[in-house]
A and B are shown apart, each in its own frame.
Chain A
């Protein structure tokens, strides 16, 4: 429940033609050789993960940034964190 997540440094977050993208860099190009497009909420979460955060902390930030209920924000955060973990894009601290 109190797990903290931090974005790995093997992705560079930037804008390309009004889209937010993550560019895979460094040794990570062996695992993923390309880029990922982020929607505005995913982009916001990714930026928030520059420093370690729990799912609850991210949910709170989401409700402050976007007009969204706590339940919806928590569900989105959980799903996104699971996807990031599945693809080894975050470090997880117990």
Chain B
């Protein structure tokens, strides 16, 4: 059956690359889905691609037509050779985004970034105080360092984006984070509201620290309304063009899109991991090819042959909310440990969002 599907596959272009330079990180966040134990650091470091291997891959990706590169980790600035790898890719001509926790902004990094400013820098904040950083990320001065790093990075011509991940330990500072960033940088903060369990060997007990489905939906609604208020102040309210979706039509159009993982993963985007595997999605490593051994192009071309998805839980297949649900193979693997299970946490979030709170949400939107 899967071979038949592959025969119908449209031309794939490797446009968007995520380069995971390292899985190591100087912060030890409780909710990091990739975090390994401290004892794994030396093993991870030994297995990382060298700067020469990255440079070879980057040349191959350039030749293959990659346009956008997201540099991420772990914390990519933890690599001592970050500047060399970064500059070699910048000189070729990509649209580059760097994700960082902003706590490791050295003069050497800034000297490189001043000459070769990234197009975008995504700064992740985990709270609005050192106390929260210590409790959540194991860093006593993490907040001070992150804010100082953000100030330094904001002197670059790059577009700066602030992001945060909200869990139980920093929920009380959600507004404070937004207020600080608005006051200091006049920018909004993007909130990750759903945190999945550890993947690819990540060992954090994430289920213990993440928000309940109800808290998650409350935060999502709260943030959405705040964003609507920001984008449409009272004098522009009449410009809001919210229209109800025809669910049947929407579901049918979604089903007609050709995908391998339910998204653009592996169709026009991919990840190269710290040890040189090519993945369709950074969260999912059960389908992979070897980009170092086989070369990038062959790894990209052969990757679809590795994808074999089983039938999913029949409850999901029959669920009327499936198209609105965040479930995908990567989420099933993270939450259930297999590719077919029904992730209860995600299922609950969808039900709360679309069913249980539906009346309240509509009222909230009307009030706003």
Contact = CB atoms under 8 A, between A and B. Distances in A.
B160 to A, nearest CB: 11
Interface string B90-127: 10111100000000000000000001111110000000
A18 B159 CA distance: 28
Contacts of B261: none
A17 B93 contact: no
Given A12-B92, A21-B67, A29 B15 contact: no
A42 interface: no
Contacts of B94: 23
Contacts of B95: 23, 34-35
Interface residues of A, number: 19
A1 interface: no
B320 interface: no
A14 B13 contact: no
A25 B90 contact: yes
A17 B120 CA distance: 22
A40 to B, nearest CB: 17
Contact of A33 (B62, B116, B119): B119
B13 A23 contact: no
Contacts of B47: none
A38 to B, nearest CB: 13
A86 interface: no
Contacts of B92: 12, 14
B37 interface: no
A8 to B, nearest CB: 14
Given A27-B157, A33-B159, A15 B65 contact: yes
Nearest to B115: A26
B157 A17 contact: no
A17 B117 CA distance: 25
A14 B15 CA distance: 13
Contact of B117 (A15, A16, A27, A34): A27
Given A14-B93, A16-B15, A23-B94, A29 B65 contact: no
Given A17-B13, A23-B94, A29 B157 contact: yes
A17 B116 contact: no
Which 9 A-B pairs have CB atoms at the shortest separation, nearest pair first? A12-B93, A30-B157, A23-B93, A17-B13, A16-B67, A17-B65, A16-B65, A14-B93, A29-B157
Interface of B: 13, 15, 62, 65-67, 90, 92-95, 115-120, 157-159
